[in-house]
Amino acid sequence: MTVPTATIRFSRLMKWIVVIGVFVLAYALFEMIHEVALALFGSVVVSYIFFPVITWMAQRLGGSRIGAISLFYLIVTLFVAGSVMWLLPILTVQYQLMRQELPQVLNRVQQLTFTFGDMNIEIGAELRQVVTDIVASVPARVPRLFVGFIEGFLHALAFVITTFYLLLHGRSLVTRTYHLVPIAHRSEVKHVMLQIHSILSGYIRGTLLLIPIMGVLTTVALWILGVRYALLIGLISGMVEILPIVGPWSAAAFAIVMALFQTPLPFGGEAWMVASVIGAIYFGLRMFEDYVIIPAVVGPAVHLHPVLVIAAILSGAAVGGVLGLFLAIPVTAVLQYVLRWLYAKLMDDTHLPVMH
């Protein structure tokens, strides 16, 4: 087949029109398939995290990436199944204890009142009405819940399949994209991408270590104090570590509330003493996390002002839900570096920005 010589040439204005048009169409497509796009984006994140693991396994399996990925899926499945089998009996016992105490907790909640001047507000009655309304609306939500379950299953299936192919062909996709860059600019683009990789890998490494470390430390501390459901609270405290600043303090509030509704109160103290001790423990763990674990693990890769962190978390939740909460911090850190690079371009600075 003879390939003719290209005769169509775009002017500079036409090139800008094409680029803007592509971005507009991509945004419109994203809005139409928002949920599917988030699931696919999640598979990209997971593939990025575990790509080095698959490469290491493939080297020890004679270079077979398919074998490495299959073995990795099997290990993950066995790990999840084993964790569930180990944790389920413990969580079941704690759940049964919680159910036994639930009537007493509800009675205490129904007796709660809030006094504002000469006006008394029965908080328990308001909460009871909210629960009643939710229960009454459940039958009308059943069809939507069923449809949502089917959609969730299809999204999970697409997530697993897409992750498999990204782990298999991810390097070739990156290489093809890199070759689209003009040769004269490849070294600079490579530097920028390596800086972004440093940001993302630092954040991921830190988060994956913070979850088990803080979960175990919290569980042990609460167990020593005699707080019931220590394992359940510890698991929640570890998982919310993916939300910097907001997550740890939310976990502290949850632990304090759970402890205050126990009968009798932990270590035989009064309510203010229980709240103070648990709050002090979470504060100490937070300081240990900020000044010991994070500097040693994450380093300077992700360095954002707390106000910017809170704004990023709220924006991420509004845009992408749970996935947006998880990605808010690394995406903001990457955008911060990209803006530094763009600023250098605008100032005609020949020195490329480097993460410090």
**Tens-digit pLDDT profile for residues 236-270:** 888 877 776 667 777 888 787 777 777 676 766 67
| 7-11, 61-65, 235-239, 261-265: least confident range | 261-265
Domain count within the chain: 1
pLDDT of residue 207: 76
CB 36 within 8 A of CB 158: yes
Structural domain contains residue 260: no
Structural domain contains residue 218: no
Of all residues in the chain, what percent carry a pLDDT higher than 90? Answer: 2
3-state secondary structure 77-121: HHHHHHHHHHHHHHHHHHHHHHHHHHHHHHHHHHCCEEEECCEEE
Structural domain contains residue 328: no
How many other C-beta atoms lie within 10 A of the C-beta of residue 312?
23
Structural domain contains residue 173: yes
Strand-pair partners of 116: 119
Structural domain contains residue 324: no
Structural domain contains residue 314: no
Segment 61-83 shows an average pLDDT of 86
The whole-chain average pLDDT of the chain stands at 76
Residues 6 or more apart from 131 whose CB is under 8 A from it? none
pLDDT of residue 276: 82
Per-residue confidence band for 153, with pLDDT thresholds at 50, 70 and 90: confident
Per-residue confidence band for 197, with pLDDT thresholds at 50, 70 and 90: confident
3-state secondary structure 47-76: HHHHHHHHHHHHHCCCCCHHHHHHHHHHHH
Structural domain contains residue 169: yes
**230 to 1, 184, 277: CA distances (angstroms):** 71, 58, 15
- For residue 221, what is the DSSP state? H
pLDDT of residue 121: 56
Structural domain contains residue 291: no
How many other C-beta atoms lie within 10 A of the C-beta of residue 311?
14
Q: What is the domain extent for residue 87?
A: 32-180
* Helix or strand holding residue 191 (H, E): helix 186-225
- Both tokens of 332, joined, read 């903001």
